[in-house]
A and B are shown apart, each in its own frame.
Chain A
Amino acid sequence: MSGDKAEDEESAVGEEGEAVVAAVEAVAERIETERDRLTDLDSAIGDADHGGNMARGWAEAAGAARDLGDPDPETVAKTVGKTLMSEVGGASGPLFGGSLVFSAAELDGGLTKESAVAFAETYLEKVEERGDARIGDATMVDALTPAVHTFKKSIEVDDLPPLDALAKAVDAAERGVAFTVPIRARKGRASYLGWRSVGHQDPGATSTLFILEELLAVAADRLDREVPDVDATSPTIPDDAEAEDESPEGSK
């Protein structure tokens, strides 16, 4: 979909692949640390398996990513997606893993701000499509949508550096997670609880936030920068017609 493979020097691709592997390892470690917290969240409204399933899946995925040798980012993403798909179980397998398998192709030209936006958009689209979930259903979509929208807008409209855009996306995801607390679950096992699901934080939205936080931490580390201190609000009000006219292409 994007990028020119030929332009990438091999060393750059290797370095990018290495960075993505480091990110996967960081996510695996974080999910393991948060295993009990995710399980507690899931036991309130679901079947108490999200922490264990995700920890096992990401540990396997980190191992599979490490075994790749000197991969490009697309290969890492695809491998991690396939591993999550077979190891996580439940709906999280196809949602977290399947979506990654299908969005990995956006990284075929390497990691650029354009390919990162395309990857994020395709990932969100796949999660929505597979889970048939929309914003406000109290699912991972509630964390992912504001994160992807904020990332895209920060890159394409505000022209922020990718690390700042990612930091803003993480803040947006955090607000999305908070939004899952006071609303009623409409998808997944939590929806069986009806009104009793109100007042509970969604586990899938929470693990989505953890993943994004680790991507940000590793990106900052690789760039040798502090994590930018920003929030999801806009630095500018876009007044040019181009930004306002933009139709929501890509969404169905």
Chain B
Amino acid sequence: MSVGLVVVSHSERAAEGIVEIAAEMAGETRIEAVGGDGQGGIGTVPADIEDALAAAAGEAAGDADGDGDETNGVDGVVVLVDLGSAVMNAEVAIELSDVDAVVADAPVLEGAVNAAVAATDPSATLESVREQAEAAADISKV
């Protein structure tokens, strides 16, 4: 089993940049960036986050591993969020989605990097990846 990641930011470019950094450490982990108001502006949209959850869970890829379901070995998704309404919209998206997902209470960039590393562990679970993402809150920089 494996864990997917979604990075949600008010800025689509910020989300993509964070994914770019985290992907360096992510190995085979599915990691999706989502952000923006859908019209080129700053914001987040629950429906877009729902799509990202499905993509991170491998649903959009169909049954790629040929085991008869469309989860492709992903048993859950850890969601990293930036500020304010991104948190609320991620929670709404999770509530509406079929994907088993949790929001990590973590700084978005450091949390994404930590989560990416944790997700490469073959015994990674939704909880272990979330825990590692949240441990990023304690990172001291100077």
Contacts and interface: CB of A to CB of B under 8 A. Distances in A.
Contacts of B37: 89
Contact of B43 (A82, A89, A101): A89
A130 B91 contact: yes
Contact of A95 (B38, B43, B88): B88
Interface of B: 37-38, 43, 45-47, 84-85, 88-89, 91-92, 95-96
Interface of A: 82, 85-86, 89-91, 93-95, 98, 101-102, 130-131, 188-189
Contact of A86 (B45, B91, B95): B45
A102 B43 contact: no
B92 A94 contact: yes
Contacts of B88: 91, 93-95, 98, 130-131
Contact of B85 (A86, A94, A101, A102): A94
Contacts of A90: 43, 84-85
Contacts of B85: 89-91, 93-94
A191 to B, nearest CB: 11
B46 A85 contact: yes
A102 B91 CA distance: 12
Nearest to B45: A86
B48 to A, nearest CB: 8
A199 B126 CA distance: 45
26 contacts: A82-B47, A85-B45, A85-B46, A85-B89, A85-B92, A89-B37, A89-B43, A89-B85, A90-B43, A90-B84, A91-B84, A91-B85, A91-B88, A93-B85, A93-B88, A94-B46, A94-B85, A94-B88, A94-B91, A94-B92, A95-B88, A98-B46, A98-B89, A98-B92, A188-B84, A189-B84
A169 B1 CA distance: 51
Nearest to B41: A89
B92 A86 contact: no
A86 B38 contact: yes
Nearest to A94: B88
